[in-house]
Amino acid sequence: MTDTESSRTSLRRYLTVLRRQWWVITLCVVVALGAATVYLLRAQSTYAAESKIVVGQGRALFGADVSNAVQPFTQTMTELIQSNIVARQTIDRLGLDMTPTELIDNLTVTNRPDAAVLLVEYVDDSRAQATRVLGTVGQVFTQLVDEELARGGQTTTTTPAPAGADVPEPVSATVFDPAHPLPGRVSPRPSRTIVVAIILGLIAGILLALMREALSNRIRSVDDAVDAFGADVIGLLPTGTVGTTPAQIEALPPKLAARVGDPFQLLAATLRFVGDNPDAGGVVTVTSAEPGEGKSTVVAHVSAQLARGGHSVIAVEADLRLPSLHRFFDLAGDLPGITDVIGGVRDLDGVLRDTNARGGPSGPLLLTAGTPHGNPAEVLTLGNVAQLIARLRELADYVVVDTPPLLLTGDAFPFVQLADNVVVVCREAKTPRDEARAVREQLAALDVRRFSVVMTESSSAHQRAYGYGADRPHVTSA
């Protein structure tokens, strides 16, 4: 893979994460906007007044010969405006109830390096008060400059200056633009606050979404499933299909039925060509890590699709503890089945149920769980299951087995060991990664080296229709 392709893949993954975690980002933006609204409602409005003070020598600006001294001089004057003596005298003149430090905190002085103009601003809760304080600051400052610094240009000796000697002009400070209020408020500014809140909310949401994804233990994508199970994903079933029966899909409008049924048709076709001998039939065992992941749904629809393709198929309800496969074919749960056949009570031919008894498309035969047994492990021994599977192979091209979750009981072990193809079903955003790794280790312990994965409730299934495209699921090779 080239660097460009790698970058595109990484970007695509990030976009997928953000799309999957959209609600986190939205929530962060909403919270940020809520906080901004509360701030705007509670914040005290503040206003500013502005004044310009020109500093120079005598009644003129600095000459060209001293232009290099303008910046240090204006910086000095800036610091003097924000001095305690100016603040204290301003407070005394106006009788303000504040400290010099508080007044200085609200006073801002800016200047350009090449200009002798000081821009002075003062912020207050009252526009009139801001103007009054700033006007007094200008008066106090210019008066102090005139009293304390202007005399620096005067000679302090009684001896007259030598003829032709340059006498420095006194320093001057003049309020050129008297204090006046600025339009609008300094704070709060609703538009800016809202924009900042949205930006901060988006940043926080994206970071939180990526963090949740990184810390999540759930399988949320094909890449997650491949990494966790160590096997290829051969099928993606769209959201809303778990628990849907073949008959329900047939009853849907044609376009919707095709959209829902196509992934099952693709999965059945994929299973037909898995292995060294394509379409040779065999035993397909379907299991999962935990309940509720859709394995019975997969068995029902794969069996139905294979049967409609002209193959003889037997679907086996091997989950004796919580049998549910019979419901997908609208059959009763108390019919004789596996336990009765293995126990020698009934013959296999006599318990196979035709799921097409009510007409419609061709359907598979169903071998139900049978009469409930107190200890299914005693029934599903390797020897008993081997005999049952051998007889089922003689009767059908495909035997599709619905077993209990692999991590909850050992009932599935014999069916897994005797299968030609093992399919593990996982559910997007539900199956934990550590359980997926546990399934992989359990299958390895049972000497099952080849298996594949089907992901149900996949949010990206609609993007991979028919398996075409660069991101189509990989088919496990023999």
In a domain, 398, yes or no: yes
Are both 126 and 246 inside the same structural domain?
A: no
Q: Are residues 257 and 401 in the same domain?
A: yes
463 within some domain: yes
Assigned domain for 164 exists: no
291 and 418, same domain (yes or no) = yes
pTM assigned to the model? 0.65
CATH of the domain at 120: 3.30.70.1130
- Give the distance between the most distant pair of CA atoms in the chain: 138
123 and 204 both lie in a single domain:
no
In a domain, 158, yes or no: no
Output the pLDDT for position 58.
62
* 97 and 21 within one domain: no
Give the separation between CA 233 and CA 451, rounded to whole angstroms.
Answer: 10
Contact between 393 and 306 (Cβ < 8 Å): no
Please report the pLDDT score of residue 56 as a whole number: 81
246 shares its domain with 380: yes
Q: Which of 110, 134, 112 minimizes the C-alpha distance to 122?
A: 134
**182, 47 contact by CB (below 8 A):** yes
Determine the 3-state secondary structure of 312 from DSSP. Answer: coil
Pair (439, 313) in one structural domain: yes
* Pair 270, 374 in one domain: yes
334: in domain: yes
Asked whether residue 339 is domain-assigned, the answer is yes
- Token pair for 182: 């600025």
Is 342 a domain residue?
yes
Residues spanned by the domain of 131: 47-152+169-181
According to the model, what pLDDT value does residue 9 have?
64
Q: Are residues 235 and 195 in the same domain?
A: no
Check residue 113 and give its pLDDT: 73
Do the Cβ atoms of 329 and 303 come closer than 8 Å? no
pLDDT at 474: 42
* Phi, psi values for residue 330, rounded to 5°: 55, 45
Q: Looking at the structure, do residues 277 and 330 belong to the same domain, yes or no?
A: yes
Beta bridge partners of 175: 53
Q: Is 105 part of any domain?
A: yes
Segments in the chain below pLDDT 70: 1-3, 5-6, 9, 58-69, 150-169, 275-278, 357-361, 462-478
Q: Is there a contact between 367 and 399 (Cβ–Cβ < 8 Å)?
A: no
Residue 150 is predicted with a pLDDT of 62
Q: Residue 156's pLDDT is what?
A: 36
Q: Is residue 286 located within the same domain as residue 200? A: no
Q: What is the CATH number of the domain that holds 388?
A: 3.40.50.300
pLDDT (tens digit, 9 = 90+) per residue, 92-104? 999 999 999 999 9
250 and 387 together in one domain? yes
Tally the domains of the chain. Answer: 3
